[in-house]
């Protein structure tokens, strides 16, 4: 096989002519010296080419087979066939594809690689020309034409990068709009583009109308005056700079920080008032959650009278995926890092499900930071640590199903999984559960996190809590039995317990239990904030 004597991981040995250009910021395109190339008709082959180019590292063949092909399809043979087609596309750049019997790597730069440095950069230090070129390179959603519904892990990767690209685009557009406030003709198309990304932001529509008026006024100036550089612009008052996003703007004011081990963590804040920090739980996505009927009412309710700070757990949402360390201690450390990055001095700490245990550990270490702690649907011991043989057998079966059915259009798995977390789900919720699983976390990461949650045990920590604590729990919760809530409240000195009338682990919009939950949260925050 071509390149069998070379080591795929040593990609610096591969030549790169620079004539071949792979564009992934929109529909997938490959061109040579500006001329578009014909691509293989196989969608998986094109997706594999894009995946190898964007990741830019060596991949084991077995892993590529797992990501792109099912066992009955002869994955090894399908991979060999796809690689042969990719070599035909590469042509003179064939040497950039380095493959041996075990691994494959591709060294071809993409437009995504050129955009990447701007995603986390201080944009104020970059030139306007560079930022305009970056915006021009984004032709649409990342690999918009290469979705693979039956390849859950690939699709989770594609969606995660698509979200990162959209966040980068929003940041660059906002920077350019503010920078070009005095040049309506250049600013107008940028604000229009920003409005298409955030259609619910009424401020942008007003901004567009103001800029359109200024452009028309400039065009109406006599030609002699308009010919003078800057004359028409100077005659107009400067355009209003964009103000910070409103409380209910799902728009993507996402920030990033680094955990102790270097893992990228994504966090966001909405609303105003006394701060509530929601400790991370699994199956969250900072931007997608605003669209999901499973989570959007939580953010809206908690942001309405308070500032809500939330972050995606490692391996979830916009935080870094496929991270090795998912231990309990690391989860506590990640919470500490987000608190520091967000600049929170004192706040109410909200734990949901497994993040209740993380919240307890944090509150013991940093009582000076926590004015009060609210714990909903949590447990003192994970399902394996509880030692119930029947529960362990059921959970292990579900864990096995995760690797096979996670994020796929599999009604059986969706029915089992959704019914467990939301027995009161409607048909709409069942449909959204697929997207929630697909966009928030990969099958392998879901399996590993569930294993980590199963052995949580904070029994010895409860008596050490010294902050005001409110424990809430749904009476017929299938994920964490209500007895777990009772045990948690009984073990924490002075804790109050409220039982909510619901079967749902994730409370749904419109059910009385959710309204009761929000009312208890607001009352508790107001009561304890001055403590």
Per-residue pLDDT of the chain (531 residues; tens, 9 = 90+): 333 333 333 333 333 445 788 999 999 999 988 888 999 999 999 999 999 999 999 999 999 998 998 766 688 899 999 999 999 999 878 788 999 999 999 999 899 999 988 876 778 788 999 999 999 999 988 999 999 988 888 988 888 888 888 888 888 898 898 888 888 889 899 989 888 877 766 677 888 888 888 888 877 765 444 444 343 333 333 333 443 433 334 444 678 888 998 888 989 999 999 999 999 998 898 888 888 899 999 999 999 999 999 999 999 988 888 788 999 999 999 999 999 999 999 999 999 999 999 999 999 999 999 999 999 999 999 888 888 888 788 878 877 777 666 756 666 676 777 888 999 988 888 878 877 887 788 888 888 898 898 899 999 999 999 999 999 999 999 889 999 999 999 999 999 999 999 999 999 999 999 999 999 999 999 999 876
Inter-axis angle of helices 411-421 and 389-405, nearest 10: 140
Q: Which of 327, 366, 326 lies closest to 349 in space, CA to CA?
A: 366
Separation CA 268–CA 4 (nearest Å): 47
Phi and psi based region of residue 395 (left: phi greater than 0; alpha: psi -120 to 50; beta: remaining)? alpha
- Closest CA relative to residue 263, chosen from 201, 313, 228: 313
Query: Cα separation of 382 and 27, whole Å?
Result: 44
Closest CA to 422 of 476, 383, 350: 476
The pLDDT score that the predictor gives to residue 253 is 67
3 state SS of 236: coil
Dist. CA 431–CA 423, nearest whole Å: 14
Residue 390 burial by Cβ neighbours in a 10 Å radius (0-12, 13-18, 19+): exposed
Residue 34 burial (CB count, 10 A): 7
Q: Does an H or E element contain 488, and which?
A: helix 482-491
Separation of alpha carbons 511 and 183, rounded Å: 50
Q: CA nearest 488: which of 389, 384, 356?
A: 356
What's the pLDDT score for residue 199? 73
Ordered domains of the chain (ranges, CATH): 11-110 (1.10.10.10), 114-216 (1.25.40), 254-382+459-528 (3.40.50.1820)
Q: How far apart are CA 81 and CA 83, in angstroms?
A: 5
| The three-state (H, E, C) secondary structure of 309-336, written as one string | EEECCCCCCCCCCCCCCCCHHHHHHHHH
Q: Which of 164, 334, 340, 361 is nearest to 263 (CA)?
A: 334
List all residues 6 or more positions away from 391 whose beta carbon is below 8 Å from its beta carbon: 383
Alpha-carbon distance 64 to 113, whole Å? 21
Which residues make Cβ contacts (< 8 Å) with residue 195, sequence separation at least 6? 201, 204, 205, 207, 208
Question: Residue 389: its pLDDT value, please?
Answer: 86
Rounded Cα–Cα distance for residues 116 and 25 (Å): 11
Structure tokens at 67: 């990501």
**What pLDDT, on a 0 to 100 scale, did the predictor assign at position 531?**
60
What is the C-alpha separation between 275 and 267, in angstroms, rounded?
Answer: 14
Question: Is 493 within 8 Å of 465 (Cβ atoms)?
Answer: yes
Task: Find the helix or strand (DSSP H, E) in which 496 lies.
Answer: strand 496-500
**Residues β-bridged to residue 97:** 106
Find the helix packing angle between 61-68 and 152-179, rounded to 10°. Answer: 90
Cα–Cα–Cα angle for 271, 276, 281, nearest 5°? 105
Q: What is the pTM of this model?
A: 0.60
Strand, coil or helix: 78 = helix
Q: How far is CA 155 from CA 52, 152, 158, 240, 434, in A?
A: 14, 5, 5, 40, 12
Q: Is 264 helix (H, G, I), strand (E, B) or coil?
A: strand
- pLDDT, residue 476, reads 95
- Classified as helix, coil or strand, 50 is helix
- DSSP line for 436-487: HHHHH--HHHHHHHHHHHHT-B-TTTGGG--S-EEEEEETT-SSS-HHHHHH
For residue 448, what pLDDT is reported? Answer: 87
What six digits make up the tokens of 292?
């999901």
Q: Specify whether the CB–CB gap between 414 and 398 falls below 8 A.
A: no
């Amino acid at each position: 096989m071509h390149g069998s004597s070379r080591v795929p991981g040593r990609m610096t040995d591969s030549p790169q002519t620079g004539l071949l250009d792979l564009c992934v910021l929109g529909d997938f395109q490959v061109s040579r010296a500006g001329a578009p190339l014909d691509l293989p008709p196989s969608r998986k082959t094109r997706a594999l080419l894009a995946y190898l180019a964007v990741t830019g590292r060596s991949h084991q063949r077995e892993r590529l087979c797992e990501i792109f092909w099912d066992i009955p399809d002869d994955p090894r043979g399908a991979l060999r066939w796809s690689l042969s087609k990719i070599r035909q596309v590469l042509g003179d750049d064939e040497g950039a594809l380095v493959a041996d019997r075990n691994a494959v790597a591709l060294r071809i730069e993409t437009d995504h690689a050129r955009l990447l440095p701007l995603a986390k950069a201080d944009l104020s230090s970059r030139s306007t020309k560079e930022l305009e070129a970056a915006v021009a390179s984004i032709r649409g959603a990342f690999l918009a034409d290469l979705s693979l519904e039956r390849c859950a892990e690939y699709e989770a990767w594609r969606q995660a990068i698509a979200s990162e690209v959209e966040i980068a685009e929003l940041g660059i557009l906002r920077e350019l709009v503010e920078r070009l406030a005095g040049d309506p003709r250049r600013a107008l198309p940028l604000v229009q583009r920003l409005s298409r990304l955030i259609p619910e932001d009424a401020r942008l529509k007003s901004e567009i109308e103001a800029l359109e008026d200024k452009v028309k006024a400039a065009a109406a100036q006599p030609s002699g005056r308009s010919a003078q550089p800057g004359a028409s612009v100077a005659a107009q008052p400067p355009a209003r700079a964009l103000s910070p996003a409103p409380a209910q703007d799902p728009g993507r004011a996402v920030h990033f920080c680094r955990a102790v081990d270097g893992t990228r963590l994504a966090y966001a804040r909405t609303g105003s008032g006394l701060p509530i920090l929601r400790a991370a739980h699994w199956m969250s996505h900072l931007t997608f959650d605003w669209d999901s009927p499973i989570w959007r009412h939580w953010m809206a309710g908690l942001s309405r009278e308070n500032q809500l700070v939330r972050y995606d757990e490692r391996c979830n949402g916009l935080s870094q995926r496929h991270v090795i360390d998912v231990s309990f201690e690391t989860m506590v450390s990640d919470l500490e890092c987000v608190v520091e990055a967000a600049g929170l001095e004192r706040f109410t700490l909200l734990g949901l499900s497994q993040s209740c245990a993380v919240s307890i550990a944090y509150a013991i270490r940093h009582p000076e930071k926590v004015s009060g702690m609210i714990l909903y649907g949590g447990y003192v011991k994970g399902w394996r640590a509880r030692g119930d043989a029947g529960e362990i057998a059921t959970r292990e079966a579900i864990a096995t199903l995760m690797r096979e059915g996670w994020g796929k259009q599999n009604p059986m798995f969706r029915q089992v999984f959704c019914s467990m977390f939301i027995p009161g789900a409607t048909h709409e919720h069942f449909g959204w559960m697929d997207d929630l699983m697909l966009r928030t976390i990969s099958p392998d990461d879901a399996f590993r996190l569930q294993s980590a949650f199963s052995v949580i045990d904070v029994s010895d920590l409860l008596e050490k809590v010294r902050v005001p604590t409110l424990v809430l729990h749904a009476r017929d919760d299938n994920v964490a039995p209500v007895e777990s809530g009772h045990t948690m409240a009984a073990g924490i000195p002075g804790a109050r317990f409220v039982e909510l009338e619901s079967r749902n682990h994730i409370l749904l919009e419109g059910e009385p239990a959710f309204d009761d939950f929000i009312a208890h949260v607001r009352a508790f925050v107001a009561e304890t904030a001055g403590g």
